[in-house]
């Protein structure tokens, strides 16, 4: 509190003055910047029996219950086991024929095809030496019940046109139609009879892939029938080789199949 008649002066504060040291070389009497700790019995000082509340015992912070540790361990074991089984299936599907792959061939093919199919063989790559194109034609039904049959539609050409100008086209989109066709031809003979447990799955998969490109209707009429065909042309040899140009194109036309609303579910 200021006394009347006495001038007041402000003391400059030295920012470099360390806390806890006496303020020396300042005008006026020496002032301590450290407050002495309160003694027992003073106001604000904790008494001898003062308790600050519950404390976390040392060594228990961050520990999980045995149940949580068991769940995490079990989940990790399941994930690692599933990954090992997946890698083993893929390895056996591309490895040269051996006792395991021959004994469990059906199970391996059922797991790998068609989602995880591999178009190469381990230790013996066999690059494609032919051009394949998949086409289709549809039957539509008008309001008066009249059925119309369309011309052949080159589905492969539509896929190629869709990725033109795209610097990073989808790898799955590029190979989906081709792999669906190869899965069908690998599981059916030329009489269109299945030669393994994957026949029906491959046929349904190819049908849905083609319908995904065509849609549910054509020229305003719903699609009620579908026929798929494949065109296979051998790649001509390089000009510097002495091999003869095969110059051959073969077609494989599948029978008509009925199209229902269920075939379009999820497309």
pLDDT, one tens digit per residue, over 113-151 is 767 777 665 555 555 678 889 999 999 999 999 999 999
Same domain, 100 and 136: no
**Residue 137: CB atoms within 10 Å:** 18
pLDDT, residue 43, reads: 55
Same domain, 85 and 182: no
In total, how many domains does the chain have?
Answer: 2
Given 86, 111, 136, the domain boundary residue is 111
- Best mean pLDDT range from 8-12, 19-23, 75-79: 75-79
Question: What does the DSSP assignment read for 53-79?
Answer: ---PPTT-TTPPPHHHHHHHHHHHHHH
pLDDT, residue 216, reads: 94
Please report whether residue 123 resides in a domain: no
Specify the higher pLDDT residue, 245 or 204: 204
Same domain, 144 and 257: yes
Same domain, 100 and 150: no
Contact present, 211 and 223 (Cβ < 8 Å): yes
Same domain, 184 and 151: yes
pLDDT, residue 23, reads: 44
Please report whether residue 38 resides in a domain: no
Query: Does 47 score more than 70 pLDDT?
Result: no
Specify the higher pLDDT residue, 117 or 4: 117
Same domain, 177 and 206: yes
Same domain, 140 and 260: yes
Please report whether residue 211 resides in a domain: yes
Please report whether residue 166 resides in a domain: yes
Cα separation, 113 vs 204, in Å, equals 13
Please report whether residue 29 resides in a domain: no
Tokens linked to 117 = 């199919």
CA–CA distances in Å: residue 130 to residues 139, 232, 233, 254, 263: 30, 7, 6, 20, 31
Please report whether residue 15 resides in a domain: no
- Domain assignment of residue 92, given as a range: 68-111
Query: Does 206 score more than 90 pLDDT?
Result: yes
Cα separation, 205 vs 115, in Å, equals 10
Query: Does 199 score more than 80 pLDDT?
Result: yes
Smallest CA-to-CA distance from 232 within 245, 210, 244, 249 is with: 249
pLDDT, residue 20, reads: 47
Please report whether residue 203 resides in a domain: yes
Same domain, 94 and 216: no
Same domain, 107 and 173: no
Q: What percent of the chain has pLDDT over 70?
A: 72
For residues 180, 259, 134, 155, the Cα torsion angle rounded to the nearest 10 degrees is -110
pLDDT, residue 2, reads: 47
Angle 12-15-19 (CA atoms, 0-180°, nearest 5)? 105
Band of residue 187 on the pLDDT scale cut at 50, 70, 90: very high
pLDDT, residue 236, reads: 79
pLDDT, residue 35, reads: 43
CA–CA distances in Å: residue 151 to residues 80, 146, 148, 154, 251: 51, 17, 10, 10, 16
Tell me: the pLDDT tens digits for 59-111? 455 577 889 889 999 999 999 999 999 999 888 888 877 788 888 888 888 88
In the chain, how long is the greatest CA-to-CA distance?
122
Same domain, 185 and 82: no
pTM: 0.54
Mean pLDDT of all residues in 182-206:
90
Query: Does 225 score more than 50 pLDDT?
Result: yes
Please report whether residue 20 resides in a domain: no
For residues 233, 239, 245, 251, the Cα torsion angle rounded to the nearest 10 degrees is 0
Same domain, 179 and 229: yes
Contact present, 151 and 183 (Cβ < 8 Å): no
Query: Does 16 score more than 80 pLDDT?
Result: no
CA–CA distances in Å: residue 193 to residues 114, 154, 186, 196, 209: 18, 25, 11, 9, 20
Query: Does 250 score more than 80 pLDDT?
Result: yes
Specify the higher pLDDT residue, 162 or 267: 162
Same domain, 135 and 228: yes
């Amino acid at each position: 509190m200021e006394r009347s008649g006495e001038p007041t002066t402000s003391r400059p504060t030295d920012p470099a003055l360390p806390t806890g040291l006496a303020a020396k070389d300042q005008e006026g009497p020496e002032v301590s910047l450290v407050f002495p700790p309160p003694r027992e019995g003073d106001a604000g000082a904790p008494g001898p029996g003062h308790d600050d509340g519950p404390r976390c015992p040392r060594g228990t912070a961050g520990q999980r219950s045995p149940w949580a540790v068991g769940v995490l361990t079990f989940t990790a074991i399941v994930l690692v086991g599933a990954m090992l089984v997946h890698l083993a299936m893929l390895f056996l599907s591309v490895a040269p024929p051996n006792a395991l792959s021959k004994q469990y061939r059906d199970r391996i093919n059922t797991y790998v095809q068609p989602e995880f199919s591999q178009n190469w063989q381990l230790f013996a790559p066999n690059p494609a030496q032919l051009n394949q194109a998949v086409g289709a034609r549809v039957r539509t039904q008008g309001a008066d019940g009249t059925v119309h049959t369309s011309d052949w539609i080159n589905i492969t050409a539509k896929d190629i046109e869709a990725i033109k100008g795209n610097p990073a086209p989808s790898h799955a989109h590029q190979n989906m139609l081709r792999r669906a066709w190869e899965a069908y031809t690998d599981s059916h003979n030329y009489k269109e009879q299945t030669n393994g447990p994957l026949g029906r799955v491959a046929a349904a998969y190819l049908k849905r892939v083609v319908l995904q490109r065509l849609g549910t209707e054509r020229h305003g009429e719903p699609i009620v029938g579908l026929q798929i065909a494949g065109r296979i042309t051998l790649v001509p040899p390089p000009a510097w080789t002495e091999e003869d140009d095969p110059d051959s194109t073969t077609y494989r036309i599948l029978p008509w199949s009925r199209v229902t609303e269920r075939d379009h579910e999820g497309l």
